[in-house]
Chain A
Amino acid sequence: MRFALSEDQKLLVDSVGKALAALSPLERVRRFADRREATAPDLWAGLAELGLPGLLIPEAYGGLGLGLLEAALAAEALGAAVAPSPFLGTAVLAPLALTLAGSEAQKAKWLPKLASGEALAGVAIAEAVAGSRDGAGIEAADGKLSGKALFVLDGLAADLLIVADRRGGLHLVETPPKATPMDSIDATRRLSEIEFRDTPATPLASNSALERLRDAAWVILAAETLGAGQAMLDKAVAYAKERRQFGRVIGSFQAVKHLCAEMAAELEPARALVWYAAYAFDHAPEESTVLAAHAKAHLSEIGRFVARTSTEVHGGIGMTDLLGLHYWFKRIGQNRQLLGGPERVREIAARAQGLVGA
């Protein structure tokens, strides 16, 4: 009985962190963002050597067969490095959708390719999870999809798509239509818009699969923000130990050290919340929605606080493109809104406990 990471989990954190330090240094992130690359195949290939694309995929299909906690730990490391990777769509949501609701033939066709990193999967569930904007939304009829999906995850260069229709049903699209990039504040995660016009699709058979996908996505986004926030705290502390003003390092001024303490005080307990939310997804599914919602909303709130506070500790230099702190600031900002901002997500936490309109 222990509430702590196992040796294997610590090893995973360590190896993903080390791999990312080599694969995704700031120069690589900057190149991806500046050139608006659609994908970063070099990074994904490197992470595939660790088995990251197949983390959640059962061993029978060539994956590692691990749980959402391991995925959250990987996401934390990816967030810490603001790595441009298709982890959320390709390695978490699409494999989950296929495992939960795919036919044997669908699983046999796609899971091994996803596990090896050979195929990329886009996920279009924003409307079904967080509400439709600008007339987006997907109608499904007679094995065909029509309508527009916004904020598609990992949709550029996708070999397959997982799409949610207006009623919450999930579909597999094996001939994805062209995806148009949606420029966002966070140029390290590419979002896209996809228009479906009688696009052939196969329904995936499970009623609650969309909710499971949503919960998993919330946990992974929370974990990413945790990693990005921790990186911003570490950078602020390192800077406060080195930058001198008034003849002393600024970290010796209480006005500055208290900002650092406040960030740490927010982040450290949140780590346990993210761990447990991820653990509950696999081991206590009845608690999963409440925990996932709280993890997503809470990390959104403290993430915003840490992002601005770390920038302030850096002073003017924190605002510059040269330093690059803004990549973390923006990743945290994007994660906050993706698949529902904190106010809407908390409403679902309340609903899941029967606190709404009884």
Chain B
Amino acid sequence: MDLTLTPEMADFREEVRAFLIAHRAEYEAGQPKDARAWQRRLIEAGYAARTIPKEYGGYGAEPDVLKARIIAEEFIAANAPRGMAGQGISMLAPTLLEVGSEEQKRRWIAPTLRGEIIWCQGYSEPGAGSDLASLSTKAVEDGDDFVISGSKIWTSTAHLAQMMFCLVRTEPEAAKHEGISYVLIPMDAPGIEVRPLKTMTGQAEFNEVFFTDVRVPQANVVGGRGRGWFVANTTLKHERGMLGDPNATEARLGQLIELMKTERVGGERIVDNPVLRDRLMQLQARVFAMRFNGLRLLTSAITGEPAGLAGLVVKLQGCELNHQIAALAIDALGELGILYHDGPHLRAKGTWQRSYMFDLGLIIGGGTAQIQKNIIAERGLGLPREPSPAKV
């Protein structure tokens, strides 16, 4: 353990603070006024895409646990938005860095980081949810192309995305996990239809995507034909990290504390209610645990030591914690917590209500809590897999 604040680190903190003050006009209430301009600004300053090599459009800094922590702390303190964190930036870019070809890295990573290409993830299908490897969207070889048909579901941002990273079955004769390829598909290709999927929040956070004879060059396969399951697992690892991001959770807890300090019921601050205060403290302890666990993970990413269980538990614990934070906010709001959409009494534009519902979706999405527990038990604790049911 060495988290000593050297003068260099104190200077670095001042540098981050000065940056956030200098650009105060470019964001408001945790949101950038122009998301892409803000993203470019952050990459330039080294506060986004920090450790991605310069030749691929990142800032190219050496990984540093403490600097990462200082950046997170100062952004939270200033309620300043972090960079974009879509599936392209958080999942595809690191996947390409790990397993993409040199040409793919050069072509896709930089514009993705700058927010110029929005990506969506084509994984789940109506018949392939938790059992993802049973997917049936097929890609048939035709000259230099694949011709794709089938459908995907739970595709967030498909209606905005220019590109999709998608799992398709290219080798129908091969075993379940070995017949899959990971392919990059332009969303404007003829034969793609996107239909919005409205959820309990009242909004269409997801979509269904239908493919009818969609042609994609074979050069768009990442990691080699039939290697899609391996590549997908690389991406899923990054997804687990993104969905359980402790910095986002910590920012949310900060907003909850603020709410409980400012909102009053019958003249009494919510935080002065001992029961609600105790619940807040329970969650704060959990947030701290995830924060320090995150620092441990960053350290192991730098030293190359395997993160083991500390990494495997992040999605399960982080998503659960986010949901519990939203649940406490709803309870703290009380009757005001049931208001929604609009109206003079609605607090924070209904963000807490929406989070309470949407975060439940994130407990399910990206590998359900139950699948996460299988992963923790099997890969982390070495417990045996559930035996396959007898063939009928």
Interface on A for B, CB 8 Å cutoff?
A: 1-6, 9, 69, 237, 240-241, 248-249, 251-254, 257-258, 260-262, 264-266, 268-273, 275-276, 279, 283, 291, 294-295, 297-298, 301, 343, 346-347, 349-350, 355-358
For B377, the chain A residues whose CB sits under 8 A away are 251, 257-258, 260-261, 264
A268 touches B310 (CB 8 A): yes
- A237 contacts across to B, CB distance below 8 A: 381-383
CA A279 – CA B2 in complex, angstroms? 9
Residues 1 to 48 of chain B near chain A (Cβ within 8 Å): 1-4, 9
Given contacts A265-B316, A279-B1, 19 further A-B contacts (CB under 8 A): A3-B1, A4-B300, A9-B1, A69-B1, A248-B387, A249-B384, A252-B385, A260-B383, A261-B316, A261-B372, A261-B381, A262-B373, A264-B313, A268-B309, A269-B292, A273-B289, A291-B288, A346-B285, A355-B277
Cβ–Cβ contact B289 & A301, under 8 A:
no
Chain A residues, CB < 8 A from B1: 2-6, 9, 69, 275, 279
- Whole-angstrom CA separation of A276 from B261 in the bound complex: 27
| Inter-chain contacts of B285 with A (CB < 8 A) | 273, 294-295, 297-298, 346, 349
Q: Which residues of B contact A291 (CB under 8 A)?
A: 288
B373-A3 in contact (CB<8A)? no
**Smallest Cβ-Cβ distance to B305: which chain A residue:** A4
> A252 touching B383 by the CB < 8 A rule?
yes
Kindly identify which residue among B3, B282, B292, B380 contacts A346, using a CB–CB cutoff of 8 Å: B282
* B290 interface residue per 8 A CB criterion: yes
Task: Check B374 for interface membership: any CB of A closer than 8 A.
Answer: yes
Q: State whether the Cβ of B324 lies closer than 8 Å to any Cβ in chain A.
A: no
Which chain B residues lie closer than 8 Å to A251 at the CB level? Answer: 377, 383-384
CB distance from B325 to the nearest CB of A (A): 15
Residues of A within 8 A of B289 (CB): 269-270, 272-273, 298
- Complex interface residues of chain B between 215 and 272 (CB less than 8 A to chain A): 257, 261, 269, 271-272
Q: Are B303 and A4 in contact, with the CB atoms below 8 A? A: yes
B370 contacts the other chain (CB 8 A): yes
Instruction: Give 18 A-B contacts (CB < 8 Å), ordered by A residue.
Output: A2-B302, A249-B384, A254-B374, A257-B374, A260-B381, A261-B376, A261-B377, A265-B313, A273-B288, A273-B289, A276-B288, A283-B3, A294-B284, A298-B282, A298-B289, A355-B277, A356-B272, A358-B261
B286, closest chain A residue (CB): A298
CB distance from A9 to the nearest CB of B (A): 7
The reply to whether A272 and B374 form a contact with Cβ atoms under 8 Å apart is: no
In the complex, whether B295 has a CB less than 8 A from a CB of chain A is yes
- Contact with B317, one of A248, A257, A269, A271 (Cβ below 8 angstroms): A269
For residue B67, give the distance in angstroms from its CB to the closest CB of chain A: 8
- B26 CB to nearest chain A CB (Å): 29
The reply to whether the CB of B116 lies closer than 8 angstroms to some CB of chain A is no
- Whether A1 touches B272, Cβ cut-off 8 Å, given contacts A269-B313, A346-B281, is no
Rounded to whole angstroms, the CA-CA distance of A57 and B261 in the bound complex is: 43
Name the 10 nearest CB pairs between A and B, nearest first: A272-B292, A261-B373, A3-B295, A257-B377, A298-B285, A346-B281, A269-B293, A294-B285, A261-B376, A269-B289
Q: Which of A2, A5, A276, A349 has the most CB of B within 10 A?
A: A2
Contact call A252/B282, Cβ cutoff below 8 A:
no
Question: How many angstroms from the CA of A150 to the CA of B294 in the assembled complex?
Answer: 40
Complex Cα distance, B60 from A283, in Å, reads 31
User: Cβ of A265 and Cβ of B317 under 8 Å apart?
Assistant: yes
Contacts A1-B2, A241-B382, A298-B289 given; does A272 touch B310 at CB 8 Å: yes
Given the known interface contacts A240-B383, A252-B386, the answer about A268 and B293 at a Cβ–Cβ threshold of 8 Å is yes
CB of B342, distance to nearest CB on chain A (Å):
31
Which residues from B are CB-within-8-Å of A276? 288, 292, 295
